[in-house]
Amino acid sequence: MKKCLFFLVAVLSINFSHSQVVCAGVSPASIAGNYSFSWGDPANTWGSPDFNIPGTTITGDLMLVDDGSLGNSPASGLPLAYYGCSPLINNLTGKIAVVYRYDGVTASTICWMSEKALIAQNAGAIGVLFINRPGANADLSTGGATSAPSVTIPAVLIDFNDGALLLAELLQGNTVTMFFGNKTGLYANDIGVVNTDKLISKSMGVSAQLSTNNSEFNFELGTRIFNYGSSNQTSIMVTANVDGPSGTSVFNSVVGPISLLAGDTIDVYPGETFSFPQFSLLSYPAGRYNLTYTVSLGVPDEYPGDNMNASDFVVNDSIISYSVLDPLTNLPSTQNFSRPTTNNNTYSNCMVIKDPNSSRIGVEGIYFSASTSYGSGILLSGEEMALSLYQWDDIFTDLNDVNLAFNTLNPISIGYYYYPSDLQGETVFGAFSAPVVLEDNRRYLACVKTVNTSLFLGSDAKTNYLWNESYYLQPAFPIESDGVYAASGFGADSPPAMGIKIFNAIEAGITNQNQLNFSVFPNPSQNSVTISINAEGNAKLSITDVSGKEVMITALNLIKNESEINISTLQPGMYIFNIVTETGETAQFNIIKN
């Protein structure tokens, strides 16, 4: 598989040769830049032009195919007409056809991509852009069936999330222009940066309470520069700029001049020959910040469409989120909906919170979005969503630590959200049963869960943390599927469209100074649980169910910080344990009784 970007791995090198074959958005600016993709290679039975040959390219406007099919795909909710399995009823002369890949439920038999490409070619298309099914890797592979040798137009395949961005522009009536092909030698002077190859803010929704100065909030900067041109360059300059809430620059750093041979790349990256200083400010006024990386040659760039990339983050006092925040609402922005392909029962989107000063904030609940597939006929009205805030007490250092696990998730607050109506795709808020003040340096996991296998949770197709994950090596947005957690979720380029609603605990007069550190095991449990807590002596335990009804009161005798509680008489379900020691210290957590 050929790609127009190269993912950061364990070791970053300064210069290395790579393919100059690209799939690039030309306009509008919102989709400009390079995309991860594969193409129909003649070596794999396709009759398409060979992108391995320098200068083999096409540029054209996109057009969605329409094969006249009625209804929507139960898997994606997209119109079946977009799958292009039958002769098209629209004229694609001079256009690049946009076709969705077969998703397993759109037809009674498999509709091969080569067959779709031939149908688009017969409708006048000059190229075909396939959008992959959710969760599948971008790999066009062999042509399949017998149609591939007859396909003489370029065919490329991009990821589902990237396709969602292009689809959104098309459905708004915008003209979307794309470039496919091998840029090597096409222009003499042509350099670029890629949206995915960069370091960005550690989150898009940044807590103002945890970011009062440059020691509390900062992040590393870096990007990758490509020399696509046929000329060696000796005067490359790259700029990292951050505009603040007022729209004026609050940070600007220029690196260069950099020399780069034709066809090579270089990373401006922490610890490398060329690097930016760390982004940090003495203070962070609330509002939206815009980070841009811009590269220049000293002479006109003959393909300037990929000379800049950008990302936003928002400093605020009400939400922490890894998702890009909508400019109007400052709530998580959803571009896509997904669920694990092998999921049969429970599915959760989660996000991690950990900060040296977490005790300054309290957590009230979770913002999230969901959708059901249109073909299912299932409405969201009355749908139950389970909300959980866990202390993630497994001890590990980073993503490479063999001890990374999800074995010690201690629920400290829960909640349920019931859809009041069919709010398909809308961002909603679910509150926890009680607000919780966090503790410094403790890792928390906030999750929203569904047991409806026809329900898809929202994700952000715009924000890419691939370089961040490789640099910081910290879990940010795990997912849970049928009780099994994946630390990196669907991948660092697919954060969930969710956020944690927070409040200033100090201003609210709420602290956790009297709260005890604890762990509980096993949880869930059938018969008994052991509470390990940093206290000795006598304590009172009150157990309530999720409705608030008190179901048990008992005395505890903490010996060596532990006490075992018999819960065999409780009915299966979730229970809230409230402990008060004889010195007035407290602890609250949730237990699941099997």
The predicted-structure confidence for 448-493, as pLDDT tens digits, reads as follows 999 998 899 999 878 999 999 999 999 999 999 999 999 999 989 8
Pairing of strands 499-504, 319-321: antiparallel
Output the pLDDT for position 525: 85
**Structural domains of the chain in order of their starting residue, each with its CATH number:** 21-182 (3.50.30.30), 191-315 (2.60.40.10), 319-504 (2.60.120), 518-593 (2.60.40.1930)
pLDDT of residue 144: 57
pLDDT at 14 over 80: no
Burial 471-483 (b: 16+ CB within 10 A, else e): bbeebbbbbbbee
Beta bridge partners of 484: 481
Q: What is the pTM of this model?
A: 0.72
Q: How far apart are CA 364 and CA 435, in angstroms?
A: 5
- Better-predicted residue by pLDDT, 538 or 16: 538
Answer whether residue 509 shows pLDDT above 60.
Answer: yes
Return d(Cα 165, Cα 179) in angstroms, integer: 16
**Rounded mean pLDDT of the chain?**
87
Q: Which of 358, 393, 363 is nearest to 520 (CA)?
A: 393
The answer to whether 330 and 322 are in contact (CB under 8 A) is: no
The Cα 92–Cα 114 span in angstroms is: 17
Average pLDDT for residues 341-370, to the nearest whole number? 94
